[in-house]
Structure 1
Amino acid sequence: MGKEEVINTRYGKVKVLIDRKDGVVLLFRHGLNHSIPPHRINYRANIYALKILGVERILSINSVGSLKEHIKPGTFFIPQDFMEFTKNRISTYYDGEDGKVVHIDLSEPYCPEIVDILREILNKRDYQYSEGVYICTEGPRFETKSEIRFYRTLGDVVGMTGYPEVVLAKELGLCYASLCTVTNYAAGISKSKLTVGEVFEIIKKVEKKLVNIVEDFIEYSSSREKNCQCSMALEYGTVK
């Protein structure tokens, strides 16, 4: 899996696994032992550590609940846009302390080139997937039935970790996209009670598929030049 290293950033320390031969960095946002809840993840440190390491493309792996009956557990989902309902997360590197005012354009939050690569891989492997709007909530609790009825009018899946990663990556000019595993139907959609065991059971079932996708992504990504505008986001968004 690579060599474990600790990266010191101005926002905190981050543990990563690095395979320098293939130029791949693995970062487990919840920690190697899944000990960090979603609302306590140091998102700024994580994304900044990848920037320090020279990472240019980020493939984020997320687990989500489905808000629509046709988006079935065990399938994949590619976000095209997002809405967030978090409460306590620091979501920018530019809070005014350095005298710089930045307004990042998020009309295209996810890197179109990475999204195209994901589509190509999923189609090639005949893995079922959907696309649409990702709703991010604070966690760590699951949502109520009433909240889900509201979120269904706005988006297609609901998760707890996709934001503020996508914004922070954009602020640093990094290409970012997400591949979501649909692990369950959200509260009130499924007739059964939602349990954490159900979520991890689905993740286990699709684990091999996820490995296949990541391996393909590494191969595809290393052979294709970047032609997107992600790296220009900060320049376009800075007030001068």
Structure 2
Amino acid sequence: MMMRTMLAAVLATTALSFAPMAAAAQAARASASPATGGTPTVVLVHGAWADGSSWSKVIPLLQAKGIRVMGVQNPLTSLADDVTATQRVLADIEGPVVLVGHSWAGTVITEAGNDPKVKALVYVAAFANKEGQSGGDLVGAYPKSPALGTVWDDGHGFLRQTEQGMIDNFAPDLPRAEARTLFVTQGPLAASTFGDKVTRVAWRTVPSWYIVSGNDRVISPQMERDLAAQMKARTTVLASSHVSLLSHPVEVARVIAEAVASIAAPK
């Protein structure tokens, strides 16, 4: 009996000690709300063999323009999981959103972009699937890219780029040391994602922008041009590798800011 009484006292004390912390966290979350009313927020979604830090050069450029920015950390385990991660970020935002996806994240924003908050989509060297279409379907419709030849299967259902693949194919227009860092920080992609199919296509109803990487060695540049045309997207072509967000951040930020301005302007 004494032991139960002591345990109850400890639990009660612990609960009391955490209550102010929980209240403070809730207040901080409310005060840190990334957008209210009609002010657009940019939500950045990273692609395969990357993480949220792949936007590290674009984020400060947008913030310098007074644009609110949020990032998504995709688990890269399935389309459903990555869409859920994106939806969690969208749920915390009040007001309109410009949803931006790089590479594989184009598939993610095509599905997640059906959220009514999303008023513009920006695709950066990204997939833009039709209904019932997977990333594998898109890749298979074009000649094999060099990066597919430098994929490393870890034997547990996940794919990575080799270090040389990062240097030669993923980020050949970045300094070698930076490309080697990307190799270390890359997020492994579940091989099964190549079979995941989009069910609802946001770009059919949401205004879209597309940034083509003209020197892409991961996704076919011709596929990127074809997808942009299919979407009737406002298109920018950069003489860039797959990672234009790192090698051409000024130009990428400019396109995103244009999308923000399009929904922020009075109607």
TM-score, normalised with respect to structure 2 = 0.32
* Structure with higher helix content: 2
* Structure with higher strand content: 1
Pick 1 or 2: higher relative contact order, CA cutoff 8 A, min separation 6: 1
TM-score, normalised with respect to structure 1 = 0.34
Structure exhibiting the larger radius of gyration computed from Cα positions: 2
